[in-house]
Amino acid sequence: MAYNIDLSGRIAFVTGASSGLGAQFARTLARAGAGVVLASRRIEKLKELRARIEGEGGDAHVVELDVTDHDSIKAAVAHAETEMGSIDILVNNSGVSTTQRLQDVAPEDYDYVFDTNVKGAFFVAQEVGKRMLARSQGAAPGSFTGGRIINVASMAGLKVLPQIGVYCMSKAAVVHMTRAMAMEWGRFGINTNAVCPGYIDTEINHHHWNTEQGKKLMAMLPRKRVGQPQDLDALIVMLASDQSHFINGAIIAADDGFAV
Ligand SMILES: NC(=O)c1ccc[n+]([C@@H]2O[C@H](COP(=O)([O-])OP(=O)(O)OC[C@H]3O[C@@H](n4cnc5c(N)ncnc54)[C@H](OP(=O)(O)O)[C@@H]3O)[C@@H](O)[C@H]2O)c1
């Protein structure tokens, strides 16, 4: 008999669903049966993804979200719950990066990365987490085991890499944020874990792989290859599922062995 993970009846809120990893996470969760809320700023891209998911028999809803705007976060989560029902799974994926030497980083470059990757991710998780906590408190003691928060950090949160120092710092903050949430919210039936992808070919870095520098970097990777967004499918579905109820506060590298 095949091992099966079924997310039917669950609602997943995916930030940064307009491209790259977020779009793939949303499609994968929908294929596993979850209703998915597609959230980010580029609404037209989200609508295209919704059509694709619906074409595959899935259920998706689009919501505009700018994670650097607190009012936008509150409105997006409220709207999502009105349209789709309570959020069971958060994939906290929106993120940005800059490529600069540390001595060249201006305050606005720093804010750009930290406002999205750290402050934005924190307040999205807080807004969803508060609602999960309220559901937990309304349930019979110990019976709420449904909250799943998956923070998309990076192997750059575990290992520093040249010229993306501020990005590395921001993802290290996401790693520790994950542990803090796991510690405070775990006893309420909410599991918070982080995934730390290695290099995956998406919009954030696609331009790089054909440059001289990009080719040199790829040659240094353990298996001389970058990943594809679908390489994280199994991990995301597992962390979103009930079967992962004993996994909380885990920081999971999916980097083809780069960070070891
Ligand atoms: N690709 C990799 O190699 C890699 C490795 C490790 C970790 N990661 C992490 O994985 C996550 C996804 O990255 P990706 O590779 O898929 O890059 P991507 O294709 O550039 O996607 C980034 C996503 O973040 C969203 N976003 C950016 N600023 C936002 C804001 N202010 N409000 C809401 N959404 C915002 C973008 O949506 P809109 O522009 O529509 O708002 C977009 O959907 C990021 O957190 C990244 O740091 C990527």
CATH for 157: 3.40.50.720
**Residues at CB less than 6 angstroms from ligand 1:** 15-16, 18-22, 40-42, 65-68, 93-96, 116, 152, 154, 197, 199-200, 202-205
> What is the pairing mode between strands 11-15 and 35-40?
parallel
Alpha helices in 36-163 (DSSP H): 43-55, 70-84, 107-114, 121-138
Rounded distance between C-alpha atoms, residue 165 and residue 162, angstroms? 6
| 183 domain-assigned | yes
Active site residue ranges: 167
- List beta partners, residue 59: 35
Task: Tell me which residue has its CA closest to atom 20 in ligand 1.
Answer: 204
Q: How far is the CA of 1 from the centre of ligand 1 (A)?
A: 37
Look at residue 74 in the predicted model and tell me its pLDDT: 98
> Which residues span the domain enclosing 78?
11-252
Q: How far is CA 231 from CA 21, 237, 243, 247, 254, in A?
A: 10, 12, 20, 20, 8
Look at residue 142 in the predicted model and tell me its pLDDT: 65
Residue 112 and residue 96 in contact, taking contact as beta carbons nearer than 8 Å: yes
For the chain, the domain total comes to 1
| 6 domain-assigned | no
Alpha carbon distance, N-terminus to C-terminus of the chain:
35
- pTM for the whole thing? 0.98
| 147 domain-assigned | yes
Look at residue 204 in the predicted model and tell me its pLDDT: 87
| 53 domain-assigned | yes
Parts of the chain with a pLDDT under 50: none
Contact residues for 156 (Cβ-Cβ < 8 A; gap 6+): 164, 167, 168, 171
Look at residue 144 in the predicted model and tell me its pLDDT: 75
| 88 domain-assigned | yes
Look at residue 94 in the predicted model and tell me its pLDDT: 98
Look at residue 64 in the predicted model and tell me its pLDDT: 98
157 closest CA partner among 106, 195, 101, 111: 195
H or E, element range at 216: helix 212-220
For the chain, give the longest Cα–Cα distance. Answer: 59
Residue 218 and residue 226 in contact, taking contact as beta carbons nearer than 8 Å: yes
| 30 domain-assigned | yes
Residue 15 and residue 37 in contact, taking contact as beta carbons nearer than 8 Å: no
Atom of ligand 1 nearest to the CA of 203: 19
Dihedral pair phi/psi, residue 69, rounded to 5°: -120, 115
| 24 domain-assigned | yes
Q: State both tokens at 4.
A: 């099966």
Q: How far is the CA of 19 from the centre of ligand 1 (A)?
A: 7
Residue 44: burial class (beta carbons within 10 Å; 0-12, 13-18, 19+): exposed
| 1 domain-assigned | no
